[in-house]
Amino acid sequence: MYLQTIKAAVLLCLWLTVSGVGASYVPQEMNKTIQNLLQYYKIPNAVRFNGNPVFPKDLMKMVFMHGVLETYEELIGRMLSQLPTATPPLASSGTTSNHDSGGGAQVKADVRSKLTYVLGKIQYLKRHRYQEQEKLLLSLQSLKSIQMSNRTVQSKALWELPQLFEKASSLADDKMRRRRRRRQARNRMHLKA
């Protein structure tokens, strides 16, 4: 067990170093939130690193990235809906019971809060950086076949999210920089004419 923990820590450090998760596009709080969620959606490392990512890396283009963000939005929405809702304590008598019914509820409330935070970040990125891609996405039906209720898929998707979020952010910025350069070049041409 101890050796597996060390191996997991080494793999995590290696992944964080290689993938550049600490870069400016992924907020530190979001990264920490995802790491905390991974403790709740825990799967064995052999399953997580089996060479079958939820979202293949070779398809990372603007249109696909919008689809990935949309799928994460649906996946995290489903994860939120699978969490039990908090029920208020029954006040049938003036006494309160001593059995602990709130410990698990507090953990689930914390998970709900963290999932809601991540969902908000994804929605903001999608809304502000990938609006024009929505029309083109209708042809990408392969993302709809992802098993949203599968806990392994959920855990692996959370694990992949920081790297995908980083790529999604940088692709959108690259596109905006190219547009800005073209606009500036056109303005210079009009000034010279």
Token code pair at residue 159 = 């694990």
Instruction: Give which of 44, 59, 56 is closest to 151, Cα–Cα.
Output: 44
* pLDDT tens figures, 72-101: 999 999 999 998 876 655 554 444 444 445
Interval 162-167 mean pLDDT: 84
- By three-state DSSP, how is residue 5 classified? helix
Token code pair at residue 191 = 């000034």
* pLDDT tens figures, 176-188: 777 777 777 777 7
* pLDDT tens figures, 119-155: 999 999 888 877 666 655 554 666 677 888 999 989 9
Contact 45, 4 (CB under 8 A): yes
| pTM, rounded to two decimals | 0.45
Q: Confidence band (pLDDT; 50, 70, 90) for 117?
A: very high
Instruction: Give which of 50, 44, 58, 69 is closest to 172, Cα–Cα.
Output: 69
DSSP code of 145?
A: G
Domain boundaries, the chain: 27-83+106-145, 150-192
Token code pair at residue 87 = 């029920």
Report how far residue 56's alpha carbon sits from residue 62's, in angstroms, rounded to the nearest whole number.
Answer: 14
DSSP code of 148?
A: T
Token code pair at residue 133 = 């891609």
